[in-house]
Amino acid sequence: MLAVIGGTSVYDLPGLDDARPHEIVTPYGRPSAPVMLGCIAGNRVAFLARHGKGHAVAPHRVNYRANIWALHALGARRVLAINTVGGITPRMAPGALALPDQVIDYTYGREATFWDSDGEGSMRHAEFGEPYTASLRDAIRSAARDCAIDLVDPATYGATQGPRFESIAEIVRMASDGCDLVGMTGMPEAALARELQLDYACLAPVANWAAGCDARGTGRRDLPPISLDEVFANLKRATGPLVGIIAALLAATPD
């Protein structure tokens, strides 16, 4: 089964027929919201709003372990995560839809593993050289192509703590580290999915330029501050193609 995790402005999944909520209590507490189980084109699909109803849960407060555990427990084996981001490099303009292949984790203090050591010999380590599943990324790329939707691919996602936006100096540092995108929810979600052996990929709608960035690059100090009205207008444009991509993905690789 495919699971879709919705990010900022994606609080439901259009086209999810016969959707019914499932309340789950996991060993790690409750997920952000009830998981909606329904069908798209005859395929069972799960949907979970990462930030809960009405964007009630801040990125640093999301119970990532409960979210991923709940999807796995309901039978999900593939996860498509929608993670809203800011653009750092010139090709990541607001309104774009990116398909990251790498991540750099700048978060701290989050519950980041299911594998907490509870005795001698119990510790494990996840292989994470390629944080996003290549086969699922390939399938998403093909689905977007079938829908005549352009994806910005590849890209490196920089995951920050939030909930504040970043300073110009922080974005300059991230650019020098190789980040193309900045968001607050990419980790530890991707690593937790890997621990449960779920195929996991991210589609990242670009909502705004990161601090000090525009199409000419990073570090400028003569740019206006980020406008939330502009963020949501760009998100509406960037997330519009998601339903078509999901439908094409399921048609090409049904569960």
Amino acid at 187: M
Report if pTM > 0.75.
Answer: yes
- Look at residues 199, 205, 187 and name the one whose alpha carbon lies nearest to residue 92: 205
Which secondary-structure segment (H or E) carries 43? strand 43-49
Most confident of 1-10, 46-55, 197-206: 197-206
Q: Give the C-alpha separation, 46 to 100, whole Å.
A: 22
pLDDT value for 15: 87
Residues of the chain with pLDDT > 70, as a percent, come to 97
What would the pLDDT profile of 138-180 be if each residue is shown by its tens digit?
999 999 999 999 999 999 999 999 999 999 999 999 999 999 9
The reported pLDDT for the residue numbered 56 is: 87
How crowded is the C-beta side of 230, counted as CA atoms within 13 Å? 11
Q: If we measure between CA atoms, which residue out of 106, 105, 119, 108 comes closest to residue 191?
A: 105
Average model confidence (pLDDT) across the chain = 92
pLDDT of res. 119: 54
Provide the pLDDT for residue 232. 78
Does residue 43 have a pLDDT over 70?
yes
pLDDT at 136: 97
Q: Which phi and psi angles does 176 have, rounded to 5°?
A: -70, -25
Assess contact for 104 and 182: CB atoms under 8 A: no
- Residue-wise pLDDT tens digits, 114-125: 987 665 556 688
- Reported confidence tier of residue 222, pLDDT bands at 50, 70, 90: confident
Distances (CA, A) of 22 to 33, 70, 71, 194, 245: 9, 10, 10, 23, 25
For 18-27, write each residue's pLDDT tens digit: 999 999 999 9
In terms of CATH architecture, what is 2-114+129-252? Answer: 3-Layer(aba) Sandwich (3.40)
Helices assigned H by DSSP within 164-241:
168-177, 189-195, 228-239
Q: pLDDT by residue (tens digit) across 69-91?
A: 999 999 999 999 999 999 999 99
CA distances from residue 130 to 63, 191, 199 in whole angstroms, order as listed: 23, 10, 12
Provide the b/e sequence for 167-194 (b: ≥16 CB within 10 Å).
Answer: ebebbbebbeeebbbbbbbbbbbbbbbb
pLDDT at residue 133 greater than cutoff 70: yes
Crossing angle (nearest 10°) for helices 242-252 and 134-146:
110
DSSP letter at 226 equals P
pLDDT on residue 243: 86
Is-contact 204 154, C-beta < 8 A?
Answer: no
Stronger pLDDT, 184 or 122, i.e. the higher one: 184
Q: What is the pLDDT of residue 233?
A: 81
Question: What residues does each domain of the chain span?
Answer: 2-114+129-252
| CB within 8 Å of 209: residues ≥ 6 apart | 86, 87, 93, 94, 223, 226
Q: Which residues lie across from 203 on neighbouring strands?
A: 82
Question: Strand 17-22 vs strand 102-105: parallel, antiparallel, or unpaired?
Answer: unpaired
